[in-house]
Each structure stands twice: as structure tokens, then as C-alpha cells.
Amino acid sequence: MNILAQYCGVVLMIVILFFHSTQKKVHLYSERAFMGIWRVTFASLLLDIMSMALLTYHHAFPDIVVETGCKAYVASLVWVAIFCVNYVCADIYKAQYQLYQKKLFLCGALFTVGVYILPIYMRTESTSKTYTYGPSTYLTYFLALLVLLVLGWLLYRYRDSTSARLRRVMGAWMGVWLLGAVIEFVSIQFWDDALLLVGYASAVGTFIIYLRLENPEANLDWKTGFFNQNAFLLYTGQQLFQKREFYLLCMSCSLGTSENTSSGTDEIVFKEMTRFISKISGTKVFRITENEIVFLFFDKEEEERVYRQLRSRFKKPWGKGRMHIIRPKWFSLTDTGIVNRAEDLLELFQYMLQKSIGSGEDNDYSVIDGSIIRELNQEKEVEQLLLKAMKQDWIEVFFQPIYSTEKGQFVSAEALTRIHDASGNIIPPNMFIEVAEQTGLIVKLGEMVFEKVCRFIQRENPARYGIEYIEVNLSLIQCGFDHLAEGFINIMKKYDIDPNYINLEITETASLNEKRTLLTNMKALREFGVSFSLDDFGTGHSNLNYIVEMPVDIVKFDRDMIQSYFHSEKAKYVMDAAMHMIQGMQLQIVSEGIETKEQYRVMEKLGISYIQGYYFSKPLPEREFLEFISNG
């Protein structure tokens, strides 16, 4: 019997089963469909060996037994192809997969009946050339080819909704199977020895599917042993398509800090945390990013129990000597019906994490509900509007004049960004600035605004109206951009702008978070001739050290600080002290948010150099601004 290839195929299938069964699995439809391929391929190999034995020793068995055994093998070839189509359907149809599975299996049953009805003939002229032929065998090859054509059509028809890897792997399976069939047919017809390779080719194809698509290790995070982001997307996508209710709890944390922290300590703490989480029952655990772990439940009470267990443990220190504290952020999603795709879940968690930055330890638990979805969708709309505005040049610069108490005239202005939609309606800055910063569009937007300011200075020459410089705001993201100075200097050179006309406003938060990059940019720009203001003094991380460390010429008192001056004795005392200290450092002060004549008189009496606010003017478009200062 020429069955060495079949024996090799059986060994290969046993190896696949061993590794597949000993690894942790997330339990996807595709996993079950793959095991269907494994079972029918393994059965086909055994039936191939059995049929060869029946043909070789046909004199020892009744004809009906030999014929039935041989037909069972040839029918199994059709079933191998059907189960491969079933595997692809599990990926394509998902929620309707079981319906298509029933249809496929019904077709397979009908095919099997046809194979058994038609006659089959046996050739046993030698032990090296023993095979079957006849109508039953020919029908089998025709049906198998027909099913393979259906498989190819499915892969082509749904090429946009299936992964390239799935198409490549199943294409490889088809190629291997067809190659084995061609070699087997040619050897039977023209060679002395028949090479019966179809069964072995099926085993090789199954091995390819296992390695490239169904190796459980591909769904595991190697460092923790938890399921990874890919497994999360596949599994939650499956539940969403099934419209099955489930609950998610996301824990976001990085290793805490202590005086004795080192990389070795971090590793010990990480392993201890991983071991603790691994022992929690009633949940699937996914590590979706470096610092985010998601727990999935099908029971709300289980989620609450696990959350209490986790929270209780994380209140205690970790590591040797119990010196290491980890303070996670928790995000709970109890209504997965508010999303349509698994990718939306990841986006929600990242959005909530971004929102939670700087919220403090007391606000470490958030519930994701429909309002968050609406908020996220609104920000997406704003992002799209912002992208379109930048592309269509719907960006406009308004100018708010700044009054000099010493000269008794307007000597500068603050440039403020405005965008409008297709209808010309102005979009409030608070709607798009934060989105621009979160998406990184603020760098390009800031560069566009700066260029518009330089073009305005070149075209209108505001110096003829007494305007000595224009203030331009820098966002936190811009301050941390390595090429800020290079880009701004190139723009000023392009429009031949005297850098003394430019004053860049930085914020205290920016100077704190992006200090090193900011100082490098400031040094280059100051050497070129640009001056700087410290904006929003009195808010955020207020610290007089910023004024000492930052090479600024002007300090701008925040509107809230100014308003507090008129309503609080403590605020008045603090502002008086800060003002005298700043003035003693030979720096100029701008008071923002001045709205009444009384407020202006008080600021003037205090010796404030510059006044900005609605008392004089709101921010104005270019034309109106020029008219205003020319009449002022």
C-alpha cells in the first residue's frame, strides 16, 4: 500500500491537535469552524488509509464493505472542501453564520447521497497502483471542484470585508489541495506508481490555516498571558453581531512611583499584578494597550463583584516591602448597544482616558453611556469641519486691540483664531481648539494662523496706525513641537516681516509640560528677534518661578484673576503682591478681561501697562480692526 503520505498527514494532524488543545483560546466562531476542518480532514485521512487497505485486501472482505468504504473516502473529499467554505463563512457572515452552515451541510448531505448512488470501480493491478474510478469518483472530483470555485468566489466577492491574510491563507489552501489532486491524477494515468497526495495536501493546508490564522498564541499577549487587542476586537465583534449583551470594565494604569523604584522593581510589581488578575474568575481579560486592561462579563453582578475585588487590592501597595502604589482609572461600559463595531469600543476607552488626564485621584471611576457617544461623535464632526476648514481656507484671524495706559493709544493686538462653516457661520473657539489639540491638527492650524498674521502685517502695515506688535497664541502642543522655531522663522522670512512685530504667547501649563523643547524654540526665536508673553497668569499651575525661568517680556493677568481682584480681598492681596514683584523685574503687565470703565480706572491707577478687554473692543475681523484703530 502506497500510504506513506497519509501516515505523514495523520502525524501532522495530531501535532496540530496537541498544540491547539493545550493553548488558551478566546472561543471564536472561527475557532470552532477550524476544528471542523481539522475533524473532517483527519477523518478523510483515516478513511483514505482504510480504503487503501480494503482495496489491497479486497479478497478478504465482502464487495459491499469494500465499495462502501471507498465511497466514504471519496465523499469525505467533498466534505473537506465544504468545511473550508464553512470556515470562510464564519468570518464573512458572522451573526448569520449558523444559517449558512446549515445550508452548506444540507448540500453536503445531498452530495454524499449522489456519491453513494452512483457506481464506483476499483483497480488493484498492483500494490503501488491501487485506486478507485468511475461515476462516483468523477462526481466527487466535480463536486469538490465546484465547492472550491464557490470558496474562490466568496473570497473575491467579500474581498473588502475580509482580511488580506484570510484571502492569502485560503488561497494557499486551495492551491495546495489542487496541486495534490493534479499530481494524484497524473500519477494514476501516466506513472507506474500512483502518488495519492490529496489527503496529505488537505493536512498541509490545515497546518497552514493553523499557523497563519488559528494559532491561539496569536491572540495572546506574550508578557501577561491575557488575550490581546486582536482577540478583543474579534471576540467583542462576534458578540456585537450576535446582539448579545455583555459588560466591559477597563482598567488604565501605569506602574506607580516610589523612592525605591527601579526597572527591576517595576518588573516585580508587574508580575505580581498579572498573577493577581489571572486568578480572578468569571471574566475574560484582554490587554488592549500597554497600560489598558479590559475585563469582559456576561453578568452585571459578576462585573460589580470583580470591580470591588480589583479596587480593594489596588488600594494596597505592591512589590517587595509593599512600597509601590498603583492608582488605576476605571471605565465601565454597561450598555454595549450604544456601539456598532468593536473598533468603537477601543475608541471609547481611548477617548475616556484622554478626558480623565488631570482629573485627579478622587475622580477615578467613569461610566460610559450614550452621552459620551454623542460627545465623541460631536468631536468627530468638529474634527471633520476643522479638516475641511483648513483645506478650504475657512480660517480667519480676528484681532483684539490692546491699549497702552502710558501712551494713551492702542499699541498692539492679540490675534485670535476663528473658523466658519460652509454657510459662513463662525464656530466658537471652545468648540474646535481642544479638538485640534487632541488630534494634533493644532500644529498645522497654528502655522496657518501665523502665516495669515504675517501676511496681514505685510499687506496692511499696521505700524502706520501705531500698532507696535501682534500677539499670537501658542498651544500646549505647539510648544512641544521640535520644529516650531524653524517653521515660524521661515514664514517670517517669506513675508519679510520684522520679527519685532511678533510676540508669541505661551501658557504656564505649556512651560511646565514641554519645558525643554519650549526653551529651545524660545531661544532660537528670541535670537531672531521675536518677543514672548506669559499668558493666563493666575490660572493652572501658577508659580512665580515660571516668570523667573521663562525668557518673557510681558505677563498677562488672566481674566478670572482680574475679576477676582474686584470681589475678593484675598485675591486683591495676592494680585497686588504679584504685580509689584513682576514690575520689579522690569516686565510689562497686560490685564485681560477689562469690561467696565471702573475696572479700567483701577488697573490704570495700579500702574498696569496694557489693558485688553471688551471695555475697548471685542475681537474684530481684519477690516473692522483696521477701521477701529484708525479711528481710535
Give the closest residue to 230 by CA, choosing from 35, 168, 238.
238
Look at residue 147 and tell me whether its pLDDT is greater than 60: yes
Q: What is the DSSP letter of 557?
A: E
Confidence of residue 323 (pLDDT cuts 50, 70, 90): confident
Is residue 126 predicted with pLDDT exceeding 60? no
DSSP output for 240-291: HHHT---EEEEEE------TT--HHHHHHHHHHHHHHHHT--S-EEEE-SSS
What are φ and ψ of residue 172, in 5° steps?
Answer: -65, -40
Residue 511: per-residue pLDDT: 47
3-class SS of residue 379? helix
Residue 38 has pLDDT above 60, yes or no: yes
- Angle at which helix 164-190 crosses helix 198-209, to 10 degrees, equals 170
For residue 539, the model assigns a pLDDT of 61
Residues 550-572: tens digit of each pLDDT: 788 899 888 888 888 888 888 88
Element (H or E) spanning 175, and its range?
helix 164-190
The whole-angstrom separation of Cα 365 and Cα 373 is 17
Q: What is the pLDDT of residues 236-284, one digit of tens each?
A: 988 888 888 999 999 998 754 444 444 455 788 888 999 999 999 889 9
Phi, psi of 362 (to 5 degrees): -70, -20
Please give the grid coordinates belonging to residue 511: 512651560
Quickly state the pLDDT bin for 133 (edges 50, 70, 90).
confident
Question: Above 90 in pLDDT, residue 194?
Answer: no
In this prediction, residue 514 carries a pLDDT of 65
Q: Which residue(s) pair with 414 in the sheet?
A: 400, 471
Question: Which one-letter amino acid corresponds to residue 425?
Answer: N
Q: Are 89 and 97 in contact (CB under 8 A)?
A: yes
Asked whether residue 359 carries a pLDDT value surpassing 60, the answer given is no
**3-state SS, residue 116:** helix
> For residue range 363-417, what is the model confidence (pLDDT) as tens digits?
789 999 888 888 888 888 888 999 999 999 999 999 999 999 999 999 999 999 9
Q: What is the four-CA torsion angle of 529, 589, 541, 517, rounded to 10 degrees?
A: 0
Instruction: Return the C-alpha cell found at 416.
Output: 485670535
- Report the chain's C-alpha Rg in angstroms: 37
Report the percentage of the chain scoring pLDDT > 90: 41
pLDDT surpasses 60 at 123: yes
Mean local confidence (pLDDT), 190-212: 83
pTM (two decimals): 0.71
Does residue 620 contact residue 400 with C-beta atoms inside 8 Å?
Answer: yes
Give the mean pLDDT of 589-601.
92
Average pLDDT of the chain to the nearest whole number: 86
User: Is the pLDDT assigned to residue 228 strictly greater than 70?
Assistant: yes
pLDDT score of 224 more than 50: yes
**What are the strands, taking DSSP E only, across 352-438?**
365-368, 395-404, 409-420, 426-427
The strand pair at 284-287 and 129-133 is best described as unpaired
